[in-house]
């Protein structure tokens, strides 16, 4: 039987410990499961971290380093190494799998060497990394309409010597693929604004012809 491999958390500052280990907060006592990141000390061959989840976190950590825990941590203990609990997140297997899919445990670990490409945490400015990046906000309808008007003005500037019928045909050729495909409110706002500018320009080009006739 190998020696217990758990070396604690490695955080000397309680504020930092609270930042990365929310399972220690009594207010989170009702959370049913936790995902956890272990930092191996020293690394075992190429393995530097272990990511897992458990309903009983404390009990699971006591198993690691023995035959009842993860095989990696058992061989780590057999080799004389250990691990520190680097970080926890509320949630079980679903959170564990989503974090594993990111394949960036070193970047998620506050103990990774600062100042290198292996870690993103500077010693003077530790900050948590969002579990899942926030989606980029969709541009507003007004912004897309403004983009459509800019597009139309460029379109016309490139065809300043064209006849009205030629411009109309080219504009239709630009817009038809959109209207035949998957439409969105944002796309409609851009295309409608484009069409409004083109329509006004065509009316201006054709006006002298109508007057003369």
The boundaries of the domain holding residue 162 are 141-212
Are 101 and 184 contained in the same domain?
A: no
Are 148 and 103 contained in the same domain?
A: no
> According to the model, what pLDDT value does residue 120 have?
40
Give how many domains the chain has, as a whole number: 2
> According to the model, what pLDDT value does residue 134 have?
55
Are 81 and 167 contained in the same domain?
A: no
Whether residue 49 lies inside any domain: the answer is: yes
Are 96 and 150 contained in the same domain?
A: no
In sequence order, what are the residues at sequence separation of 6 or more whose Cβ sits closer than 8 angstroms to the Cβ of residue 163? 205
% pLDDT > 90, the chain: 41
59: pLDDT strictly greater than 60 = yes
Are 21 and 86 contained in the same domain?
A: yes
24: pLDDT strictly greater than 50 = yes
Are 84 and 162 contained in the same domain?
A: no
Whether residue 80 lies inside any domain: the answer is: yes
Are 21 and 77 contained in the same domain?
A: yes
Q: What is the pLDDT of residues 145-170, one digit of tens each?
A: 999 999 999 999 999 999 999 999 99
Are 91 and 165 contained in the same domain?
A: no
Whether residue 131 lies inside any domain: the answer is: no
pLDDT tier at 119, thresholds 50, 70, 90: very low
> According to the model, what pLDDT value does residue 43 have?
85
pLDDT tier at 12, thresholds 50, 70, 90: confident
The mean predicted confidence, pLDDT, of the chain is 82
- In this structure, of 79-93, 98-112, 186-200, the range with the lowest mean pLDDT score is 98-112
Are 98 and 162 contained in the same domain?
A: no
Are 104 and 148 contained in the same domain?
A: no
Are 44 and 95 contained in the same domain?
A: yes
Whether residue 102 lies inside any domain: the answer is: yes
pTM of the model: 0.54
Looking at 108, 130, 159, which one is the last position of a domain? Answer: 108
Picking from 158, 157, 150, the residue whose alpha carbon sits closest to that of residue 190 is 150
Other Cβ atoms closer than 10 A to 163: 11
């Amino acid at each position: 039987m190998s020696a217990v491999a758990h070396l604690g958390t490695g955080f000397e500052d309680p504020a930092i410990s609270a930042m990365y280990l929310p399972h220690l907060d009594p207010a989170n006592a009702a959370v049913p499961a936790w995902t956890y990141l272990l930092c191996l000390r020293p690394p075992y061959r190429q393995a530097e971290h272990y990511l897992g989840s458990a309903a009983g976190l404390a009990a699971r950590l006591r198993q690691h380093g023995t035959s009842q825990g993860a095989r990696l941590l058992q061989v780590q203990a057999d080799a004389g190494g250990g691990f520190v609990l680097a970080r926890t997140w509320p949630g079980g297997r679903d959170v564990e799998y989503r974090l594993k899919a990111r394949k960036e445990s070193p970047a998620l670990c506050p103990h990774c060497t600062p100042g290198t490409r292996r870690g993103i945490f500077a010693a003077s400015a530790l900050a948590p990394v969002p579990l899942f990046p926030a989606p980029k906000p969709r541009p507003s309808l007004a912004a897309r309409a403004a983009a459509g008007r800019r597009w139309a003005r460029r379109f016309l500037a490139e065809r300043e010597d064209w006849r009205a019928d030629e411009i109309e045909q080219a504009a239709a050729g630009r817009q038809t693929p959109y209207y035949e495909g998957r439409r969105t409110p944002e796309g409609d706002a851009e295309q409608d604004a484009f069409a409004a500018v083109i329509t006004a320009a065509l009316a201006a080009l054709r006006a002298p012809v109508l007057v003369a006739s």
